[in-house]
């Protein structure tokens, strides 16, 4: 998320919004956003991990703490998925650079 926050001005220029979802409640999600100094990246709290996993195919951790592994979607202005990334562990995520390149490519088409 910090990677996207660092590139906020470029995303704003391109008309791109970044939204991150968490299974954590509002207080913990807000504390995370504050700790990471997020102002551009929008944080959504209290998502239902089981529901999101069922709808998107995201990997879910059902251990001591239930959470979703990183799952990301790049949507076009109409809400159609143009690229997705699924992870089942700590690696395998979109980077801000990847998204910027893909957005520029799609906008040039």
- Average pLDDT of the chain is 95
**pLDDT tens column, 57-108:** 999 988 888 899 999 999 999 999 999 999 998 899 999 999 999 999 999 9
For residue 70, the 8-state DSSP code is P
**pLDDT of the residue at 100:** 97
pLDDT (0 to 100) of residue 84: 95
pLDDT of residue 65: 87
Residue 109 has pLDDT above 90, yes or no: no
pTM over 0.85: yes
Q: Which CATH number fits domain 2-104: 3.40.50.1820, 3.40.1350.10, 3.40.30.10, 3.60.70.12?
A: 3.40.30.10
Evaluate whether 106 touches 16 at the Cβ level (below 8 Å): no
- Residue 19 makes CB contacts below 8 A (sequence gap 6+) with 41, 42, 43, 44
Nearest to 6 by CA among 96, 71, 98, 99: 96
């Amino acid at each position: 998320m910090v990677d996207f926050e660092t590139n906020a001005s470029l995303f704003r220029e391109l008309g791109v919004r970044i939204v991150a979802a968490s299974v954590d409640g509002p207080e913990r999600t807000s504390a995370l956003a504050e700790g990471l100094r997020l102002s551009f990246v929008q944080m959504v709290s209290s998502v239902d991990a089981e529901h999101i996993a069922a709808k998107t195919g995201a990997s879910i951790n059902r251990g001591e703490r239930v959470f979703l592994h990183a799952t990301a979607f790049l949507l076009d202005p109409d809400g159609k998925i143009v690229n997705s990334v699924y992870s089942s562990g700590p690696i395998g995520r979109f980077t801000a650079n990847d998204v910027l390149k893909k957005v520029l490519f799609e906008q040039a088409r």
